[in-house]
Amino acid sequence: MTMLSFRIDDAVAQDAQAWADRLGVDRSEVLREALRRHLHRLASEADARTWEQQPLGEGERSLGEVADWGPAEDWSDWADAAR
């Protein structure tokens, strides 16, 4: 694990400590989780831009049609037999 050090406003530090106290965890855990979630959100925004710039090709879209087929066989009679 790598240690990061940064400065924040006193009010933000107090809010982080208040949440840590409420949750019963260390303040560093609150900050780690907040940073992890923020980075995840930024990555998903970049993913959305990538999808807009490079939409699925015809071959990739055809997999969606296969998913719409539903079950290949009717297994409902097995549920009745198991009871």
Question: What Å distances lie between residue 60 and 6, 57, 63, 65, 66, CA to CA?
Answer: 44, 5, 6, 10, 11
pLDDT of the residue at 1: 86
The packing angle between helices 10-23 and 27-53, to 10°, is 100
- Token pair of 77, please? 């009679």
Structural domain boundaries in the chain: 27-54
- Token pair of 62, please? 């055809």
pLDDT of the residue at 47: 85
pLDDT in tens, the chain (83 residues): 899 999 999 999 999 999 999 999 999 999 999 999 999 999 998 888 888 888 888 887 777 776 666 666 677 777 666 66
Q: If DSSP codes are grouped into helix, strand and coil, which group holds residue 42?
A: helix
Q: Rounded CA gap, 22 and 17, in Å?
A: 9
pLDDT of the residue at 80: 65
